[in-house]
Amino acid sequence: MIKAVPIAAIFIIGALFVPLLKGKIRSSYILFLPVLAFIILLNTPEGTYWAFNFLDYNLILGRIDKLSKLFGYIFIIWAFLAVLYSLHLKDNVQHLAALIYSGCALGIVFSGDLFSLYIFWEVLAISSTMLIWARRKRASIHAGFRYLLVHAVGGLSLLAGIVLYVAETGTPEFGFIGLNGTASYLILFGFCLNTAVIPLHFWVPDAYPESTVEGAIFLSVFTTKTGVYILARTFPGTELLAWLGAIMTAFPIFYAVISNDIRRVLAYSLLNQVGFMVCGIGLGTALAINGAVSHAFCNILFEGLLFMATGAVLYMTGKSNCTDLGGLYKTMPITCILCLVGAASIGGFPLFSGFISESMTISASAKENLPIMWFILQFSAVGVLHHASIKIPFFTFFSEDSGIRTKEPPFNMLLAMSIAAFLSIFIGIYPDVLYKILPEPVDYVPYTLDHVIGKLQLLLFGVLAFCLLIFSGYYPPEKRTLNLDTDWFLYRKPVQYGLPVVHFIFGGIATVMGKIFAEFFPRVLGNIVAEPLPKTKAMLSPMGVSVLIAMAFLSLLFIVFALL
Partner 1 sequence: MEKQRKKELTLFDKPRNRKIVILSLYIALLILLAVDLVIHRHGDFPWETAPEFFAVYGFVACVVLVFAAKVLRFVVERKEDYYD
The residues binding partner 1 (CB under 8 A) are 253-255, 257-258, 329-330, 363, 366-367, 369, 371, 374, 378-379, 382-383, 386, 398, 401, 448-450, 453-467, 469, 474-476, 479-485, 492
What is the C-alpha to C-alpha distance for residues 487 and 203, in angstroms, rounded to an integer?
8
What is the C-alpha to C-alpha distance for residues 51 and 290, in angstroms, rounded to an integer?
28
How many CB atoms within 10 Å of residue 532?
Answer: 11
Nearer to partner 1, 240 or 456 (CB): 456
Distance of CA 102 to the CA centre of its chain: 12
DSSP 15-32: HTTGGG--HHHHHHHHHH
Contact 379, 247 (CB under 8 A): no
Nearer to partner 1, 50 or 255 (CB): 255
Which helix (H) or strand (E) segment is 3 a member of?
none
**Pairing state of beta strands 57-64 and 47-54?**
antiparallel
DSSP 237-266: T-HHHHHHHHHHHHHHHHHHHH--BHHHHH
What is the closest distance, in whole angstroms, from the C-beta atom of residue 142 to partner 1 in the complex? 8
Q: What are phi and psi of 39, to 5 degrees?
A: -65, -40
How many CB atoms within 10 Å of residue 176?
Answer: 10
What is the closest distance, in whole angstroms, from the C-beta atom of residue 363 to partner 1 in the complex? 8
Nearer to partner 1, 303 or 485 (CB): 485
Nearer to partner 1, 5 or 382 (CB): 382
Contact 154, 190 (CB under 8 A): yes
Contact 241, 185 (CB under 8 A): no
Distance of CA 181 to the CA centre of its chain: 27
Nearer to partner 1, 51 or 469 (CB): 469
Nearer to partner 1, 148 or 232 (CB): 148
- Picking from 274, 336, 325, 335, the residue whose alpha carbon sits closest to that of residue 303 is 274
What is the closest distance, in whole angstroms, from the C-beta atom of residue 150 to partner 1 in the complex? 15
What is the C-alpha to C-alpha distance for residues 258 and 47, in angstroms, rounded to an integer?
48
What is the closest distance, in whole angstroms, from the C-beta atom of residue 383 to partner 1 in the complex? 6
What is the closest distance, in whole angstroms, from the C-beta atom of residue 286 to partner 1 in the complex? 16
Nearer to partner 1, 105 or 253 (CB): 253
What is the closest distance, in whole angstroms, from the C-beta atom of residue 407 to partner 1 in the complex? 15
DSSP 50-69: EEEEETTEEEEEEEE-HHHH
What is the closest distance, in whole angstroms, from the C-beta atom of residue 494 to partner 1 in the complex? 14
Read off the DSSP letter of residue 491. Answer: I
What is the closest distance, in whole angstroms, from the C-beta atom of residue 359 to partner 1 in the complex? 12
What is the closest distance, in whole angstroms, from the C-beta atom of residue 364 to partner 1 in the complex? 10
Nearer to partner 1, 184 or 259 (CB): 259
Q: What are phi and psi of 446, to 5 degrees?
A: -75, -35
Nearer to partner 1, 151 or 391 (CB): 391
Nearer to partner 1, 69 or 455 (CB): 455
Residue type, 68: S
Q: Number of C-alpha atoms within 13 angstroms, CB side, residue 273?
A: 37
What is the closest distance, in whole angstroms, from the C-beta atom of residue 374 to partner 1 in the complex? 7
